[in-house]
Amino acid sequence: MEKIQIATRPGQRSERRVSETDPEARIMKHGDGGCAPSHNVQISTDAEHGIIVGVGVTQSPVDWGQLMPALAGIKHQAGRLPEQVVVDGGFTTREAVLATAELGVDLIGGTIEDGAKEIAQRLEQRTIVPAFRAENFRYDTETNTYSCPDGKILRQHAVRDDRIGIMRHVYRARAADCRDCSFRKQCCLGASTRTIVRKEFVPAIAAYVAKMQTEAARKIYRLRGAVAEFPNAWLKTKIGLRQFCLRGVNKVRCEVLWACLTYNVQQWVRLRWKVRLAHAEV
């Protein structure tokens, strides 16, 4: 329990639970809405034949940090990285986009969201008069300046890269312009001058966002469910792996590996049978 409490990130609720029968398990939420001691199993599947090429077992209840370990496992197993990897939104983070771009792996995944931007927008909507919210400031690409609703100019003050994959361009009005403005109270909210922050993705993430807006990338992404979810469904229905029989991460990993090996053998038999059937029909 002390170890889990230490690992708790700031801002998370302090209440934590631990399993008395399996200390290495973590309480995770399931599809039926309930919570139980669990392990997070990650499966990587070859899209052409549906064969499992990578398996991972973690204590993390989320998927957002598991893509790079999965790629490392595939490289260890197959001797090389895949040319392309398709993941769902849980794996799609700015960190993952940058890392795969550096490795030369084509990433197809979900949308990239800026959670901090959404929080800032909600805060602004609660505090600033609607007429003076950021969306009502006009941006001029030629001069790289903003104009407030009253016509005052906000010039670029700084460029900050304190967030992974995001450049923050800070624009600030002159103190004299805001001091003499009749709308200061509605716009500045007690600050000496009004500030606007324009955020843009770094080139690698901007390229990913543009790619995922193309029909070709979307078509590939739509195929993810059939490829990725089929092995999970097979392991649960055909092999009966709905609950682990063993405890501890290492033993659970062995149990998952045996199940995935069984799945691969069954798929190999199916693929061989299809080839022989095709020859017989000819």
Q: In the structure, what pLDDT confidence band is assigned to residue 257 with cuts at 50, 70 and 90?
A: very high
| Range name among 15-19, 59-63, 96-100 with the lowest pLDDT average | 15-19
Together in a domain, 216 and 198: no
Percent of the chain at pLDDT exceeding 90: 42
103 shares a domain with 57? yes
Residue 34 pLDDT > 90, yes or no? no
Show the domain range for 176. 117-202
Evaluate whether residue 60 is within a structural domain.
Answer: yes
Q: How confident is the model at residue 62 (pLDDT cuts 50, 70, 90)?
A: confident
* Per-residue pLDDT, 211: 95
Q: Does 53 reside within a domain?
A: yes
Per-residue pLDDT for 238 more than 80? yes
- How many CA atoms does the CB half-sphere of 20 hold within 13 Å? 0
Model pTM? 0.76
183 and 154, same structural domain?
yes
pLDDT over 90 at 13, yes or no: no
Residue 7 lies in a domain: no
Least confident of 108-112, 222-226, 243-247: 243-247
29 with 66, same domain: the answer is: yes
Same domain for 218 and 104: yes
Residue 159 lies in a domain: yes
CA distance 212 to 201: 14
Q: What is the model's pLDDT at position 221?
A: 94
Q: Is residue 5 part of a domain?
A: no
Is pLDDT above 90 for 109?
yes
Q: What is the pLDDT of residue 271?
A: 83
Q: How many domains are there within the chain?
A: 2
Query: Domain boundary at 150, 181, 202, which?
Result: 202
Question: Of the candidates 206, 204, 200, which has an alpha carbon nearest to the alpha carbon of residue 167?
Answer: 200
pLDDT tens string 160-205: 988 889 999 999 999 999 988 888 888 887 788 999 998 889 999 9
Residues 27 and 104 in one domain: yes
Claim to verify: residue 105 and residue 217 sit in the same structural domain: yes
Q: Among residues 202, 236, 255, which one ends one of the domains?
A: 202
Would you say residue 15 has pLDDT above 60? no
Kindly state the average pLDDT of the residues 52-59: 90
In the predicted model, is pLDDT for residue 20 greater than 50? yes
Question: Measured between alpha carbons, how far is residue 108 from residues 82, 88, 92, 101 in Å?
Answer: 12, 8, 9, 11
Q: What is the pLDDT of residue 43?
A: 92
Strands 84-86 and 52-58: unpaired
Residues 180 and 246 in one domain: no
Kindly provide the b/e burial profile for residues 180-213, where b requires at least 16 CB atoms within 10 angstroms of the residue's own CB: ebebbeebbeeeebbbbebeebbebbeebeeebe
Return the structure tokens found at 142.
């030629």
